[in-house]
Amino acid sequence: MKKFIQIAFLLIGGALGFVFLPPLYELLHLSSNPWLDNPYVSVALGALLLFTLSFAFSDYFVKLITWMEEVLFKVPIGDLLFGTLGLIIGLIVAYFLGFAIDSIQLPVITEVLPIVLSFVLGYLGFRVGFKKRDELLQLFTLRGHNAKKKANEGADVPEIRGSYKLLDTSVIIDGRIADISETGFIEGILVVPQFVLTELQHIADSSDTLKRTRGRRGLDILKKLQDERMTKVEITEEDFEDVQEVDLKLVRLAKKMENDTQIVTNDFNLNKVCELHQVKVLNINDLANAVKPVVIPGEDMQVVVIKDGKEHNQGVAYLDDGTMIVVECGRSYIGQAITVTVTSVLQTSAGRMIFAKPKDD
């Protein structure tokens, strides 16, 4: 890269010497010298001067180019493409505005303002194309979908109601999605991206017995969904090679698809990421919590304290549905069935936790 920069300096220096050195000779009254007033000498002097400076500044240019490469390689190709298109459109608009400015006949404005407009409109065009890429893609996708819908009007094509549901790895392994789908509470088309299938396959091929069992169970759940579901289960090959994390790929894919696309998960962290990206999400744990029996503070229940809690003198019990009950002063009752009084209930997307105390206390 250093050699490339030094050659560039050499060529640029020769061009600058050819353009600017002859006027400089006239200004310094040196144009009468036949050795200096020669285009070949001007090119040689300019090239030599900048080539010498390149040794002092080449390291800085190498760092600058390396930094630009790292930034550009991290930018998704779609964002870069739409940003470049926006830049070209902004420069075209600035070029046509320059014709209107030329008619003003003001020396300073006609020379400076077109340059300013080129910078401003080019920058704005790049930013708009870069930031609005997803909206532009959705616009073209929606038009293509509407055109396809019109082309299919009048044909005996069954109408598929509902939106697309993207399944993540955790909800497939969990398995409850098959039972919920069978009851008809989830409508629309279930979409399984290829990168989710790849992750499931890696888990199923794991050397760890537990992971291998979970991965194979997930593949069996997908097969069950394909065989028993009334509407389609599609597998999409869409992938984002610039992103490594499967969760971020799901978010990108949901944004790229239609506006009513939803991600189905039971991952608490993915739920939060979807909310930050303003992507619709269906959390299986939220559904499970919604259909659990309501527990009211002050209500009594029979529980068996099975282990210590995290805090001092706490005990932990569980309901039949797996809900954790933290029993204050319950450590001394480990292994016993006792009656507790509910004091408070904590409800989150990760689950529900009940706080209680022994009724005797």
Note the pLDDT tens digit of each residue in 214-255. 889 888 988 888 887 766 788 888 888 777 888 888 888 888
| Residue 147: per-residue pLDDT | 55
Please indicate, yes or no, whether the overall pTM of this predicted structure exceeds 0.75.
no
| Residue 158: per-residue pLDDT | 39
| Residue 150: per-residue pLDDT | 54
Note the pLDDT tens digit of each residue in 3-17. 887 788 788 888 887
Note the pLDDT tens digit of each residue in 101-126. 777 666 666 777 778 888 888 888 88
| Residue 316: per-residue pLDDT | 92
Q: How would you classify the pairing of strands 351-358 and 324-327?
A: parallel
| Residue 142: per-residue pLDDT | 57
CA dist., res. 113 & res. 94, Å (int): 10
Q: Which residues of the chain have pLDDT under 50?
A: 154-161
Q: How many CA atoms are closer than 13 Å to the CA of 317, on its beta-carbon side? A: 29
- Rg of the chain on CA atoms, in Å: 34
Cβ neighbours of 273 (radius 10 Å): 18
